[in-house]
Structure 1
Amino acid sequence: MRIDISGLRREGRHPARPESAARGGVAVVTSPLAELCMALHVLAEPGHHPGLQAWVAGVTARLDPCLADSMGEADFLWRTTFSDVFVPAAGLPGGTLPGATLAEDLDLLDRLSDEQFVDAALEFTCALPYDTRPARVLADPAMRERALELAAARGPQPVRFTRRLLEDPPHVRVWLRRFLEDCDEAFFADVWSRMRHQLTADARHKTDILRRKGLAEALTAVSPVVTLDEDEQRITVDKLNEGRTSTADGSLLLIPTSLGRPHLMVLHRYGWQPVLHYPVSSPAPAAPPSVEQLTLRMTALSHPVRMRMCRHLARSAFTTGELAKVEGMSAPEISRHLALLKKAGLITTRRRGRYVLHQLDVTVVARLGGDFLEGVLR
């Protein structure tokens, strides 16, 4: 993953936030909406975050049934990884910063155009182009049909949500804001009151490094897998997926998360300011696998194509055809790789209508060790 920073502002500061008065166009700043997204992700995929199992159990036990049902209506916005609708500041001009409160962040979400909102919301349901100029799906009937066709492989709920989103974006936006406010009242306000101090302290610490030692040191403090090539004016993030973006508007956001480990995410949507969303909590220790399991599973993972497939399957269920398209390979070739992963017990398979969906079993992968799991989820 690469970020071209040749357009980064070298003078001036972002708008006032105490912890974000960083040098040039780089700001390290907290975001309650981004952290709420991570909370929803943890509730949807607790296997990604074994150290938070007790918190998940506590929230789930006291969750109102109606709110729990609402979580299922659009959980693909946070289940697979992290929808860009949860960092709306990145889609607004002028190096806009996230809000200091959830209400302020939600007000920024309201400022996105319907096209921006729909494009970002369809990312995980329909796998539409991400880091290139987006099609105007609301104005293009062919693109609308394609979006519904792609959503069909995800199941009936994504199809219903996608149809609602395409037919009446304002209504969906009102629903989403109300849902997020309900989550805040039910459990997130308590989470944020406990975590915002840690996140603010981390943002101030990274900002201090940025001021005193420069961008390279600040990025290393964010994560050792984030590096700066000053000659090439480029930031590289060591992830299994490929992507590139640039600081065309002159700004870069760094947002810490307490709930996000092991995910290190890069927002690189075309036309939006880049964002590094990085974890600050300590990793949980990994349990070792048996020798027999280790031999079989590491053999299955010894191919770069299967490694890349694991990254996709860790985030969402995919059909064989979807994986073939993503990898640029034939369906029979992908099927052979899937068979090896399944024989090693690394993936699960389920049928939904006429689609067969494959997904990585992250609880099994966790037993291989934290380094591998962090690598595919980064």
Structure 2
Amino acid sequence: MSVSIDITGLPPERIVFETSPLAELGVALHALSEPGHHPGLHGWATATAAALKPDLADRLLEADFLWTTTFSDVLTPFAGIRGGDGRTGATLAEELDLLDRLDEDRFMAAALEFTCSAQYAAGGPVRPERALELAANRGPRQLDFTRRLLSDPVGVRAWLRRLFEDCDRAFFADTWRRVQPALAADARHKTELLRRKGLSEVLHAVSPAVSLDEEDGRRRIAVDKLSDGRTTATGSGVTFVPSSFGWPHVWVLHAPGWRPVVHYPIAAPELPGPASVELLHLRMEALAHPMRMRLCRQLARAAYTTSELAESYGITPPEVSRHLAVLKKAQLVTTRRRGRYVLHQLDVAAVARIGSDFLETVLR
């Protein structure tokens, strides 16, 4: 499963790395709303939330599904302006001006992503009755927001701008001053890496979850996620936006007619790279079998030969070999030779990673 961006024939200069203060504000708000997703930010989130005035905290609750249920495209308006150049703003005020320029249809579709996520890739106008029905399923705050948006989109847009401006005064201006230099440095570094080493190299530097697929004369940027989606950048380009708050998320804007955007984290815990969706599936499937679970119990304690394992569990060596093959394909068992014996042992570090791999994968 992945989200793919077709870049066949796209000139290299249309793949750009830029900072976005509004997108970073959105990720910061996500970290405030979902601190469990971001264990490394607990201190910042706790201190920032405690310092919010009650009125601002209440208003953030009214709209928090824009950065919790989904990461709304409202937060990257530079990608949706018809006839625009797709460039981000240098300041939050500039990007809020871009939000003001987003046409009404696109603003409403982006603001209602939380109700129509299944139809995201299809595009098209919002159906008010369906939006209200889905919003009601989400909760009273979402329903109230949807009613206001459908009846007064201009007023809701102005309300959102004031909300973001108040966040800037309350905490984000200081936060942006602190993180912007590192984000700008990362964007410059990735731009230079793209120039010197090429696209495949820079995509790997963005995230192990991002890769270049070249097949049948087509070129695609693939983002390994527990979702499917596709779009094309051949008429516009692709923007990569670094984030100091984003880990473990890699967000991809792939709405029809919008410039594709990949929003990636520049900071992550010092852990091995995240497993692919396919590898995680193999590992969980491998461990779901009761006999393989029993084999793992023994292999976790010491290294054993196939014959030893067969004798321990009363099954034939070929049966053991078949189970070991599944565990090895899932990269959960290591093998080494000692004389004429082949010894198998559980990779405890790989098994220990499954919990965090699963969490990173479903949040990615």
Q: What is the identity, as a one-letter code, of the residue corresponding to 1:146?
A: R
CA distance in 1, matches of 2:45, 2:176: 15
Q: Percent identity?
A: 59
Classify 1:300/1:66 alpha carbon distance in 2 versus 1 (closer, same or farther; 3 Å): farther
Query: What letter matches 1:123 in structure 2?
Result: E
Q: Please state if 1:114 is matched with 2:98.
A: no
The DSSP-based 3-state class of the residue aligned with 1:95 is coil
Take 1:112 and 1:34, find their aligned partners in 2: how far apart are those partners?
15
* Alpha-carbon distance in 2 for matches of 1:49, 1:7: 38
Aligned residue in 2 for 1:317: none
- 1:81, CA displacement in angstroms? 3.5
Q: Distance in 2 between matches of 1:300 and 1:186?
A: 49
Letter in 2 for 1:4: D
Q: How does 1:200-211 map to 2 (within 5 A)?
A: 200-211=184-195
CA distance in 1, matches of 2:56, 2:88: 26
Query: Are 2:335 and 1:377 equivalent residues in the alignment?
Result: no
Q: Distance in 2 between matches of 1:302 and 1:109?
A: 48
**1:31 touches 1:98 (CA, 8 Å); kept in 2?**
yes
Alignment equivalent of 2:166, drawn from 182, 199, 213: 182
Is 1:263 the counterpart of 2:265? The answer is no
TM-score by length of 1: 0.72
> Take 1:117 and 1:128, find their aligned partners in 2: how far apart are those partners?
18
Q: In structure 1, give the amino acid aligned to 2:47.
A: G
Correspondence for 2:114? 124
The separation in 2 between residues aligned to 1:157 and 1:177, in whole angstroms, is: 19
- Do the aligned partners of 2:70 and 2:113 also contact (CA within 8 Å) in 1? no
Q: Pick from 243, 251, 269: which aligns with 1:283?
A: 269
**Which residue in the other structure is 1:243 paired with?**
229
| Equivalent residue for 2:145, pick from 153, 158, 161 | 161
1:24 to 13, 22, 26: 13
How do residues 249-328 of structure 1 correspond to structure 2 at under 5 angstroms?
A: 249-283=235-269
Map of 1:95 onto structure 2: 85
The equivalent of 1:226 in structure 2 is: 210
Q: 1:44 to 1:302 in 2, by over 3 A?
A: farther
Q: Tell me, what secondary structure is at the counterpart of 1:24?
A: helix
How far apart are 1:24 and its partner, in Å?
A: 1.7
Alpha-carbon distance, 1:125 to partner: 3.1
Partners of 1:261 and 1:184 lie apart in 2 by: 22
Would the alpha carbon gap of residues 247 and 367 (structure 1) be closer, same or farther in structure 2, given more than 3 Å must change? Answer: closer
- Code of the residue aligned with 2:228 in structure 1: it is E
Letter in 2 for 1:163: R
Equivalent residue number for residue 49 of structure 1: 38
Whole-Å separation in 1 of the counterparts to 2:107 and 2:287: 37
* Cα distance between partner residues in 2 of 1:122 and 1:170: 14
| Shift of residue 127, structure 1, vs aligned partner | 3.0
Match of 2:70 in 1: 81
In 2, Cα distance between equivalents of 1:213 and 1:77: 37
C-alpha RMSD of the superposition: 2.2
Question: Structure 1: which 5+ residue stretches go unaligned?
Answer: 11-22, 138-142, 287-297, 304-365
| Number of aligned residues | 287
1:197 aligns to what SS in structure 2?
helix
Structure 2 unaligned spans of 5+ = 273-283, 290-351
Bigger Rg, structure 1 or 2: 2
Aligned mates of 1:121, 1:201 — CA distance in 2: 31
Change (3 A) 1:234 1:302: farther
Counterpart pick for 1:191 among 175, 186, 193: 175
Work out the CA distance in 2 between the residues paired with 1:302 and 1:179: 47
CA distance in 1, matches of 2:88, 2:355: 35
**Once the 2 structures are TM-superposed, how far is the Cα of residue 248 of structure 1 from its aligned partner?**
3.8
What is the aligned partner in structure 2 of residue 4 from structure 1?
6
